[in-house]
A and B are shown apart, each in its own frame.
Chain A
């Protein structure tokens, strides 16, 4: 009886091996399809296995990666509340390894590191200023690195590229405007991207020194969409960029850009107020001077006399009453 069972076991093993050889190509084909569709879970490296611990690793092996990632996200939340940024970073490294196709985790990791940790080190008690500054830069880079990895894992998701662009152009941090413009340009290549990203791309290009030609090209795409022309920034940029790029005869007149002349004065004045941001100002001063001759205003409201960023606007109804 014992021999009979052993014999059958051997036959079963041989049969499993033979049928296994037959099923192997099919398994590999399905795995390849899944990999192509980015649905195949990535194998865990030793580092992640160690961080997970035995129990979580067993759960992950059982195919419950999403559950473990969700739980680790709650754990990371506790680290956030205690401002334990290095532990939080480790958690998100594990979480994003477990769920690389979930944008939320990449975004949240970057948000915590590049915004929350960055802000925390601005005035963290007991940390010398120089050290705090180094840590701020370090965490900003960590945040950027998370988003860059996110774009590698979700290359078709325009939101991932936009998140990277937004971080790189954040005015409160060291900016990488060419990098931000490149990220927005990538986003624009994807399906379903909203029109505001086209405008963001334009605004970013417009403030990069030496990229006026690229900004003008981007402006053609933005201007081609009627709804974009309602935005004051778009109108004023169009005005300045066409002065930078086109001969006078080919430029659109002021009345073709703005709905009326008081609006032109208002929008151009706000644009002039932002001259320390690096925006093109070609022809803006002259246009404001000309419009001010049409609409004389008290000197205290003169946009040309105010310091950049200090102009307070016109009082309500000032232009309409004239």
Chain B
């Protein structure tokens, strides 16, 4: 025995991982992964989707079928990630208060920062696992369809007597819309976006004990953050007179406070078949860590000495 009192470290990854694990389990028990069944059905439905009855016309028709599959399935993934990011984070603190888990945790030597970070990581883990499962299925469906489209289009091209370089160009065009690293980068960006909005929801939920308030406020932040940067650029390019000065100022203030979700639009570009450079993904990773860091520290600031 020693006289020295037990000291709790300011931040412990081990504690955080335990809380994250239990949060993940808590959310899984809410039957969140049933959504994967919807995704599977959607994927099968997309697989059975008939071709648009074009008899001739744009040569990029084969790629359109692949894009349709991608846009629908990635669209679902985005809804899954963003809605889950907001709703599950909004539920966490009120649910812990309601079933008194929060008191049990905080009565132990667990700093509130660990609690918040653990909760956030639990949500992110849930989104990550969900997205990973969906990505696997998407890759399988897309790869299978790409092979079908490729065979069909190359057969047509050969029947039409295209030369080898034209056939090679057609093949490259179709493969660009299959499973690519850029598509994976787009999905990673989607995960980042969900992470940022989850961190925003965490911040809002430290103020409010109402789940509905947190969900609505976070959703508003998401929508405002998706277009406010465009507004800022528009107002910056206008000559401001009279009332417009106020509008311009308001746009500036809002764009300073809200995260710029427009940057995560690369997911859409990846679905469209564009190439995502690694450098851009790296910068996006940097700003995502920055956003999440800011909102988590502010959440801690609010929650640190909050009476519960």
Report A's interface with B, CB cutoff 8 A: 1, 5, 8-9, 11-13, 15-17, 19-21, 23-24, 26-27, 29-31, 33-34, 37-41, 43, 58, 61-67, 69-70, 73-74, 77, 99, 101-104, 107-108, 111, 115, 159, 163, 192, 194-196, 227
Is B72 a contact partner of A67 (Cβ separation < 8 A)? yes
Give 19 A-B contacts (CB < 8 Å), ordered by A residue. Answer: A8-B301, A9-B207, A16-B257, A27-B260, A31-B263, A39-B266, A62-B226, A63-B267, A65-B265, A67-B71, A77-B52, A103-B60, A104-B60, A104-B67, A108-B57, A108-B58, A194-B169, A195-B163, A196-B162
For A104, the chain B residues whose CB sits under 8 A away are: 58, 60-61, 63-64, 67
Is B290 a contact partner of A26 (Cβ separation < 8 A)? yes
| Minimum CB–CB distance for A195 against chain B, Å | 6
Q: How many angstroms between the C-alpha atoms of A196 and B170 in the bound complex?
A: 13
Is B268 a contact partner of A66 (Cβ separation < 8 A)? yes
Confirm or deny: B249 has a beta carbon within 8 angstroms of a beta carbon on chain A. no
Which B residue's beta carbon lies closest to that of A65? B268
Q: How many angstroms between the C-alpha atoms of A41 and B59 in the bound complex?
A: 25
Is A31 a contact partner of B272 (Cβ separation < 8 A)? no
Which listed residue, B60, B230, B298, touches A12 by the CB 8 Å rule?
Answer: B298
Quick check: which of B10-18, B88-96, B280-288 contacts chain A, the rest being far away?
A: B280-288
Query: Range of interface residues on chain B?
Result: 35 or more
Which listed residue, B58, B260, B301, touches A31 by the CB 8 Å rule?
Answer: B260
| Minimum CB–CB distance for A199 against chain B, Å | 10
Main secondary structure of the interface of B (DSSP, over half): helix
Is A111 a contact partner of B57 (Cβ separation < 8 A)? yes
Which B residue's beta carbon lies closest to that of A18? B256
| Minimum CB–CB distance for A29 against chain B, Å | 8
Q: How many angstroms between the C-alpha atoms of A115 and B54 in the bound complex?
A: 13
Given known pairs A104-B58, A111-B58, the reply for A61 and B70 (CB within 8 Å) is: no
For A8, the chain B residues whose CB sits under 8 A away are: 207, 301-302
| Minimum CB–CB distance for B234 against chain A, Å | 7
| Minimum CB–CB distance for A237 against chain B, Å | 18
Is A34 a contact partner of B280 (Cβ separation < 8 A)? yes
Report B's interface with A, CB cutoff 8 A: 52, 57-61, 63-64, 67-68, 70-72, 74-75, 78-79, 82, 162-163, 165-166, 168-169, 172-173, 193, 203, 207, 222-223, 226-227, 229-230, 233-234, 253, 255-258, 260-269, 271-274, 276-277, 279-280, 283-284, 286-287, 290-291, 294, 298, 301-302, 307
Main secondary structure of the interface of A (DSSP, over half): helix
Which A residue's beta carbon lies closest to that of B290? A23
Q: How many angstroms between the C-alpha atoms of A143 and B274 in the bound complex?
A: 24
Which B residue's beta carbon lies closest to that of A8? B302
